[in-house]
Structure 1
Amino acid sequence: MSLKFVFKPHTLQFKQEAGTSRGILTQKQAWVLKVSDDEQPGIYGFGECGPLPGLSVDDVADFEMQLASVCDTFNDLDLEVFPFNLDIILDQLVPPHLPSVRFGMETALLDYMQGGRRILYDTDFSLHGKGILMNGLIWMGSFENMQAQVEAKLQQGFSTLKMKVGAIDFDKECRILDSIRQRFGPDEITLRVDANGAFGQDEVFAKLEKLSQYALHSIEQPVKAGQHALMAEVCAGSPVPVALDEELIGIMDYREKFSLLKKLAPPFIILKPGLLGGFRHTSEWIEIAGRLGIDWWITSALESNIGLNAIAQFTARFENPLPQGLGTGQLYTNNFDSPLKVSQGHLFYNTAQEWALPEFN
């Protein structure tokens, strides 16, 4: 056996501008990985790397060079990979500052070890048509644009909406939330908001108090990551339950993960495997959260359908009843055709649908 990695870049184009408190997104750079063995022709594993600008720890100018270096090292070693040594090999070959590389290589190897079927885990989701409950994401934009997004998500059958806040006028954002609550009570529509760290120390509690009028399920990352004393105060005193997101990025050591969650004591954490270093690290966060009585859900990080498929299948293993954040497959004009389909606020894997994967020279 002589496993070899190759990769190619793929620039994902958004169907429409996607607004966050960190700016407007029109495209997302990804790198598609393919692993194969000359002794096993026709069996290929696919993965995806894709640092998020301004957020991922591996959002660096020479990312592709570093990815190439890791792949070359792997290829030179003529490794045999099995479930029992996968994490050991990745720990040795992928530096901690390249979490999306670890995620891409891990998922490609899992795919390969399962026969290259794009079925990484045998679950009711991947094999038997069971859907995963999701939230519908409302991107930042004009008041009218965000209202239109709300209407579209409601028509698509979503019962949980997640709205980005912190970029347009706060009162206008509250008006949108109020308009939803005027029509639907919390027993009909669950509302989440995501501030992406946009609230300052001098305003955060006033804004949280205002938001509490709308019976919100949670607010993601109300203040910027790294302000542990402030975040602990916010988690303890917020009238809206807090979910940590960016706060988790870049923490790879198990003891540091445990220390952070014990100190901040959030009601929720949000897990993005592509930013956290793949499934081994995501599983560690889940295990620690369980020990500390913290709930969690998983979201994709603007991956194409290749990365999204892996994340969704990993998520399905836990049968978490909370709505997950797995709707990124609908964002792009040039995504890869896949069995992933969204219907009535759920993500499904249609086993009758074929994949259309990128060609490699």
Structure 2
Amino acid sequence: MRIQQMETFQAAIPLKKAFKTALRTVTVAETIVVKITCDNGITGWGEAPPTHVITGDTLASISYAINHVLKPNLIGKDLRDRECIWEVINQLIVGNTSAKAAVDMALYDCLSNYANTSLSHFLGGYHSTIETDYTVSVNGADEMADDAEGYVQNGFSILKVKVGKDLIETDIERIRAIRERVGPEVIIRLDANQGWKPKEAVRAIGKMEVLGLNIEFIEQPVLAHDIEGLKYVTENTQIPIMADESIFSAKDAKRVLEINAADLLNIKLMKAGGIHEALKIANLAAVYDVKCMVGSMIETKIGITAAAHFAASQPNVTFYDFDAPLMLAGDLIQGGITYEKSKIKLGERPGLGISRLNEEFIQRVM
């Protein structure tokens, strides 16, 4: 089963509402879609959204990496020698993790189609249904409380609240407003997106603990490179701390795990360069008995379907952040995962279960 063709498409879908974090504001989900066709007719899909503030990838760099670096060197490769292919990918280019992820998930889609089984079963087959949270973007306290209440009324019992953009007191005001509006039963987790300094984070989290805001965990309170600062926060707070932007590779995870710098890990395919490296991170975390979340960037259902299948296949992945397609004003594909409020069903179709693209969102063939 040899790679015969690799096509790319640029797509864009508006968001229903602006997505705001401590790092950026997004109003349109842009992405590069990859379609790999093998000589036996099997096809696989992947995507890479540009998230330059986290991965450094732009539309231009993703397109160049795929079309001018990876594609010429992968055409003709036999997918049955898959470890050789991933070795080639990592030798060809440094960084460019989103571009690698798009190709990686398309290759896994082909492989699981070849095996005539869903990707989740191909990878391990642990869960058939998972539950996602819904993200509350950074806005004024009243608006965030309104949004949170609306998400709960729409069937979501887990909220991921963005913080870290303004003063700590403002963040606490927002969280209190949300907690008062949604009640004590709804799970609230926070994501600071590197927005605090270590001592600020400890002070903020300490106040939340005293106020009894009942926070499940807090993602990436400090700068990505500040592993010692992350460890300081973890050691000086009671609420569990999750490493996100600090971890791109298994080597990054090893450093965090060895010094107990975080209680939990967030794995994203766009950071890891795809499923191949994500599996290594999950397996390493399991050795340390550390639970993981699998999250995403602002992706379409292509990337989220791949991430959901990976997450559902791993026993130590117990948290899921796959709400991005629900934020979009349209669907880029036919097929893939399906949503029933907060529940995600993977389906039994081979591979990712994607049948075709919806052409209305394709801007150009690359």
The residue aligned with 1:348 is: 345
Q: Quick check: 1:127–1:351 contact (8 Å CA) kept in 2?
A: no
The residue aligned with 2:192 is: 195
1:207 paired with 2:204, answer: yes
Q: Quick check: 1:140–1:168 contact (8 Å CA) kept in 2?
A: no
Aligned-partner SS, 2:319: coil
Distance 1:104 1:346 in 2: 25
Compute the displacement of 1:351 (Å): 6.4
Q: 1:48 to 1:268 in 2, by over 3 A?
A: same
The residue aligned with 1:325 is: 321
Q: 1:96 to 1:179 in 2, by over 3 A?
A: same
Distance 2:320 2:67 in 1: 32
Distance 1:296 1:3 in 2: 36
Write the letter of the residue equivalent to 2:12.
Answer: T
Aligned-partner SS, 2:259: helix
Aligned-partner SS, 2:230: helix
Structure 1 alignment gaps of length 5 or more:
none
Aligned-partner SS, 2:44: strand
Write the letter of the residue equivalent to 2:62.
Answer: F
Question: Which string of whole-angstrom CA distances, capped at 9 and with x for unpartnered residues, describes residues 267-289 of structure 1?
Answer: 11111112111112111111221
Aligned-partner SS, 2:142: helix
Q: 1:206 to 1:290 in 2, by over 3 A?
A: same
The residue aligned with 1:10 is: 11
Question: Which string of whole-angstrom CA distances, capped at 9 and with x for unpartnered residues, describes residues 13-71 of structure 1?
Answer: 2121111001211123211101113x434x32111122312110434853322221134
1:156 paired with 2:157, answer: no
Q: 1:235 to 1:303 in 2, by over 3 A?
A: same
Q: Quick check: 1:275–1:301 contact (8 Å CA) kept in 2?
A: no
Compute the displacement of 1:164 (Å): 0.2
Write the letter of the residue equivalent to 2:57.
Answer: D
Q: 1:59 to 1:260 in 2, by over 3 A?
A: farther
Q: Quick check: 2:267–2:292 contact (8 Å CA) kept in 1?
A: yes
The residue aligned with 1:246 is: 245
Distance 1:123 1:158 in 2: 29
Q: Quick check: 1:36–1:45 contact (8 Å CA) kept in 2?
A: yes
Aligned-partner SS, 2:7: strand
Compute the displacement of 1:168 (Å): 4.5
Distance 2:284 2:6 in 1: 33
Q: Quick check: 1:298–1:324 contact (8 Å CA) kept in 2?
A: yes
Distance 2:336 2:255 in 1: 40
Q: Quick check: 2:302–2:336 contact (8 Å CA) kept in 1?
A: no
Structure 2 alignment gaps of length 5 or more:
360-364
Structure 2 length normalisation: TM-score? Answer: 0.85
Question: Which string of whole-angstrom CA distances, capped at 9 and with x for unpartnered residues, describes residues 204-260 of structure 1?
Answer: 2211111223121111011111112222111111232110001113xx4x4553123
1:276 paired with 2:272, answer: yes
Q: 1:141 to 1:184 in 2, by over 3 A?
A: closer
Q: Quick check: 1:6–1:71 contact (8 Å CA) kept in 2?
A: no
1:92 paired with 2:91, answer: no
Distance 1:118 1:139 in 2: 37
Distance 1:98 1:10 in 2: 19
Aligned-partner SS, 1:62: helix
1:299 paired with 2:298, answer: no
**RMSD of aligned Cα (Å):** 3.0
Q: Residues 1-361 of structure 1: matches in 2 within 5 Å?
A: 1-37=2-38, 39-41=39-41, 43-59=42-58, 62-75=61-74, 77-82=75-80, 85-94=81-90, 95-115=93-113, 119-122=118-121, 130-168=128-166, 170-182=168-180, 188-212=185-209, 213=211, 214-249=213-248, 252=249, 254-320=250-316, 322-337=318-333, 338-349=335-346, 355-358=355-358
Question: Which string of whole-angstrom CA distances, capped at 9 and with x for unpartnered residues, describes residues 274-320 of structure 1?
Answer: 21111121111112212223221111222111111111111111255
Structure 1 length normalisation: TM-score? Answer: 0.86
Q: 1:127 to 1:60 in 2, by over 3 A?
A: closer
Aligned-partner SS, 2:113: coil
Aligned-partner SS, 1:9: strand
Q: 1:224 to 1:273 in 2, by over 3 A?
A: same
Write the letter of the residue equivalent to 1:156.
Answer: N
Distance 2:191 2:111 in 1: 37
Distance 1:58 1:245 in 2: 17
Write the letter of the residue equivalent to 1:195.
Answer: A
Question: Which string of whole-angstrom CA distances, capped at 9 and with x for unpartnered residues, describes residues 153-176 of structure 1?
Answer: 111222211100122454343234
Distance 1:175 1:48 in 2: 37
Q: Quick check: 1:12–1:29 contact (8 Å CA) kept in 2?
A: yes
Q: 1:34 to 1:151 in 2, by over 3 A?
A: same
Aligned-partner SS, 1:145: helix
Write the letter of the residue equivalent to 2:295.
Answer: T
Distance 1:312 1:32 in 2: 18
Distance 2:132 2:338 in 1: 12
Aligned residues: 351
Distance 2:15 2:124 in 1: 27
Q: Quick check: 1:12–1:28 contact (8 Å CA) kept in 2?
A: yes
